[in-house]
Structure formats: structure tokens, C-alpha cells
Amino acid sequence: MASSAPTPPFGGSPIRALLWDVDGTLAETELAGHRPAFNRAFADEGLAWHWDVDRYLPLLRISGGRERMRTFARDFGHTLSEAQIERLQQRKQRHYEQLIRSGAVGLRPGVRRLILEARAAGLAQAIVTTSGRASVQALLEGAAGELAQCFAFWVCGEDVDRKKPDPEGYRQALERLALQPEEGLAIEDSRNGLQAACSAGLACLVTLSDSSRWEAAGEGAQDFAPALAVLDGLDDPPPPSPLVSRCPTEQVTLRWLHSLRGAA
């Protein structure tokens, strides 16, 4: 299925802001953090549910933990009240924060380097994520340390009415930064994130995560076609995914990103 996200004009405008996704982009949180946290919450609640990797990966097409639980319950004939879903979400959140603060999940290679390079160059940076604010805070405190101060603000799941692939979060970030879409660059890992960024008029770099490599293998490279580039990571280590376009410098740098935009 081809992506419905429009391809924004990449033009020659210099990049003035980096807008970062969190889960799968800053860190590989989905399989190592969120999935075990859900399973611990299910056990706490006495539910005979267990989301193994094969079960969890398709659920990542759905943005938001509550939404995933509602979909799973509906598709498999389970009945959960909204009160149960909310209780499960709160339990899951506590487990997730404990996992992250324990150091179970670190930043992806190259993330710290590029954030610091962007700060030194005077670029604005913000987070745009469907994750809750508490999840973002746990990751930044547990894995990112001093990097938290590099972000002007966070647009989180609580801040929008419509989550990715809707562009609301990115449009809100651009408004707060007082920038035009052609002045920003989104960094994402998933099809939903790419669609949200492109629908907001942003150029988008995709760094495939453990979960989106599965998505790419199933859906094909055409769903990532609107991306400025599709890489295995910011340090672009081998071996590459079959659909990956390589970064010639072996590291994603601001200079290379500007060159992709024709603004070097």
C-alpha cells in the first residue's frame, strides 16, 4: 500500500529546527520498554494477556497505549471498561518509568552527538511524540541526562486531540517555534510519524527502528518514499536494511542534512 502522505518541497531553505520523535527514534523503547511494561500491567490486573514480539509489532500501527488495548480487546472478543483501561495504562506507565530509570534502555547510537551538534549550531529543537509526558520525562532523566535542556519544549500525547499520523503535533510545534515548515526537519522512525511530518509540510529523515524494520519488511519501501532519506540509524552502522539509502559520511551530520535540502 503506497503512503498517502504528501511529499513536501525540500527547497533550499536552511534547517533552523530539528523536531524529534521519541519511541524508536531517540531510543529503542517499544520492544525493550513499553512491551514488557504492558505485560507487567496485565499480570497486575490478573489478565491472561501476554504481548510477545509477534503480537506487539502489529499493534504499533496504532498510536497510543489506551488505543492499542481497546483495539486488542475488541479484536479478540474481550470486554474492558474504560476504568479498566485507564487503570491498566497507569500501571503500565509506572512499570515503564521503572524500566527506563533502571537504565534498561539507552539512547540510539548517534542521537546524543547530533543533538549536541544541533545545539552548538544554534538550531532550535523540540520533541513531538504520541507518548505521554511522564514517559518522555523518564527517558530524558534516565538515558539522556543533560540533553533534556536541549529541547525548547515537548509536544506529547496529552497536548493534542489527534495523534500521529495526524499532523496536529507537528503543526503545534511549528507554531510555537514561529517557523515555516520548510525551515524544520523531523526525525522519525515509523510510517505514522513520517506521514504526520509530511502532512505538516516538513521534510523528514527516517531512521528505522527495530519495530519499523518489521513494518518496512511487511509493507515495502514505497511507504517510506516521501522521506528525505531512510537510514538504519544516525551513525548508519552496517548491515543496512534492504530499503535503506546510505549516508555517505557514515554519520548523519548537520552538513549532510543541509546538503540533502540543497542548502549547504
- Which residues participate in catalysis according to the annotation? 21, 23
Backbone φ/ψ region at 34: left (φ over 0), alpha (ψ -120 to 50), beta: alpha
- CA-CA distance, 157 to 176, in Å (whole number)? 16
- Rounded to 5°, the CA angle 73-62-158 comes to 100
Q: Which three cell numbers stand for residue 101?
A: 530509570
DSSP-assigned beta bridge partners for residue 128: 155
- 187, containing H or E segment: strand 184-188
Asked if residue 157 lies in contact with residue 89, where contact means CB atoms within 8 angstroms, the answer is no
* Cα→Cα distances 208→28, 73, 85, 221, 236, Å: 10, 29, 30, 11, 10
Contacts of 170 (CB under 8 A, 6+ apart): 19, 128, 155, 186, 196, 197, 199, 200, 202
C-alpha cell of residue 124: 532550535
CA angle 219, 161, 124 (to 5 degrees): 80
Q: Under a CB-based contact definition with an 8 Å cutoff, are residues 37 and 89 in contact? A: no
